[in-house]
Amino acid sequence: SRSGLNAHATTDDVERPFKCSICPKAFYTKVHLNGHANIHSNKAPFKSLVCSKAFKCGRLLMVHGKIHSGEKQDKCKICGKQFAC
C-alpha cells in the first residue's frame, strides 16, 4: 500500500545491526536475517497457491502474488522494494 511504502521510506537510513555472515546485507531484526538465510541455500519454502513458482523469501512471494491479483505496485526509489497499491 502507499502507506506501507511511506513507512518503509523512514527505515532505509536506519542502522541495521544484524549482519549476514555470507554477504554484505544487514537487517533491522534477527527474524529478517534468519529469513534472508534462505537466499544462500537451495531452500524455496514459500510457494504460490496459484502457480508452481516457489521463492526463497516471503516478501518475493507476496510481490509475485500481485501478478495474479492484478494489483499495481509502487517501488521504493532507494532500495527497489515493491508495495501493492
Q: Indicate which CATH number applies to the domain containing 80.
A: 3.30.160.60
Q: In sequence order, what E strands does the chain have?
A: 18-19, 26-27, 46-47, 54-55, 73-75, 82-84
CB 5, CB 74: distance < 8 Å = yes
Cell of 6: 511511506
CA distances (Å), origin 55, targets 15, 16, 23, 40 = 27, 24, 19, 12
Query: How sure is the predictor about 76, in pLDDT bands with cuts at 50, 70 and 90?
Result: confident
CA distances (Å), origin 56, targets 9, 15, 36, 64, 73 = 24, 24, 8, 12, 20
Q: What does pTM read for this prediction?
A: 0.46
Quick check: 19 pLDDT over 90? yes
Query: How sure is the predictor about 10, in pLDDT bands with cuts at 50, 70 and 90?
Result: low
Q: How many domains does the chain have?
A: 1
- The boundaries of the domain holding residue 35 are 2-84
pLDDT in tens, 21-69: 999 999 888 988 888 887 888 888 889 999 989 988 888 888 888 778 7
